[in-house]
Structure formats: structure tokens, C-alpha cells
Amino acid sequence: MKIIKYKKCSNGKYKLFLEDGTTIDTYEDVILNNNLLYKKEIDNNLYNIIINDNMYEEAYNKSINYIEVRIRSTNEIKVYLKNKKYSEEVIESTINRLLKNNILNDEVFTKAFINDKLNFTTMGPYKIELELKKHHIDNNIINTYINNIDEDILYEKIDKLITKFMKSNKKHKGFVLKNKIYNNLLNLGYKSSMILEILNNYEF
């Protein structure tokens, strides 16, 4: 089959027009890797190679689009591609390519994840750690970044949460209120000693 026309489409894709009226949607990298700008003829063997290469390129491009929405963990991409019904070989190749190009980086993900949870949620370190484990982040990475959380930030968060809990629990007083706040903060993932240190500054 002879290629009679190349047409550039959106998202880095190209359409190849063949002399028998059929078309092939493919990617720039597939064209370059298979030297299709110079090979004007496509036999059955080359056709199958292009179709196979397209699958790998499609998985890679879909992963990039998924990552562009927000930063992702390696495990998120694996789950995403599995849900798209790609083979294990395609998934492994895509993951390795993303890692090699530093588009996937679990350390970068972990750092951003912790910052987001500290800035935009009530979560404390222990709860953040549990969430990171759900992403199958390496324990060494988790421990490094969890242990690097500025304690001043945590003290400030705890203090603000105590004030908030006191305002929303006016029907409770004394030890009952103090214990209720303590348990709430403990469930949010804050260290017991830090909670008590700040609680002791309040009158109940």
C-alpha cells in the first residue's frame, strides 16, 4: 500500500492516506521511528508495527494528559492505564518512559501532596502518611518528607483547629470538651504530645 498524503491533526497526531482509500491515524514519533516520511510503501508487516507502536504512543500521550490535570503518583498512572485496558507490557513501557523523562516522580508527588494536605485540609502527619501509602509510595520517601514537615506549621494548625472546635462545641465544657477536642485532633493525625502541649494553654 502506498502512502499518498500526510495530514497533521490535533494533539501531535497525523493521518496517513493510502492509495486504496484507507487511512491510518498515528503519531509523530511513530512516523519518525519507522521512517515513514521516506518509506512510501506500507506492507502488512510494517502496518502491524505501526498499529502496535500507536498503542504505546497512545498510552503515553493519554498519561501525559492525565498528569497535566494534576500531579500523579506512579501507582495512579498504573491504575489509570489498567482501567483503559492496556496490556501489562504497554503499562510497564509507558511508566518507564514517563519516569525516564521525569514526568512521573514519586518524590515530587509526595512533596506536593503533603503541601496540599497541610494547606487545604485539616489532616495531620499520620493521616497524610496513610493517604500516601494508598498511593503505594515507597516508605523511605514518605518518612523523609513527613519528618521534614515544619513543626511550627503543625502547632499553628492545631491551635487554629482547637479554636474552631471550641466555637462549634459550646454545649460541652471542661474535661469533656478538652477530651473531645483531643480525640478529634488525634483522629485527624496529629501527634498526641503536640496536641496536649497546645491544649494545656487553654482554659476549659
How many residues are listed for the chain in this entry?
204
Q: What is the pTM of this model?
A: 0.84
Distance CA 127, CA 110 (A): 14
Distance CA 166, CA 161 (A): 8
State the CATH architecture for 3-100: Orthogonal Bundle (1.10)
CATH C-level class of 106-147: mainly alpha
Domain ranges of the chain: 3-100, 106-147, 151-199
CB 129 within 8 A of CB 146: yes
CB 162 within 8 A of CB 130: no
pLDDT value, residue 195: 96
Angle at 133 between CA 131 and CA 136, to 5 degrees: 125
What pLDDT, in 10s, does the model give residues 48-62?
A: 999 999 999 999 999
pLDDT value, residue 170: 73
Distance CA 18, CA 200 (A): 79
Identify the segments of the chain with pLDDT beneath 70.
none
Distance CA 56, CA 94 (A): 7
SS3 of residue 199 by DSSP: helix
pLDDT value, residue 168: 82
Domains 3-100 and 106-147 alike in fold = yes
CATH number for the domain whose boundaries are 151-199 = 1.10.10
CA 195, distance to chain mean position in Å, is 31
Quick one: cell of 61? 500521550
Quick one: cell of 46? 510494517
What pLDDT, in 10s, does the model give residues 162-174?
A: 999 988 877 777 8
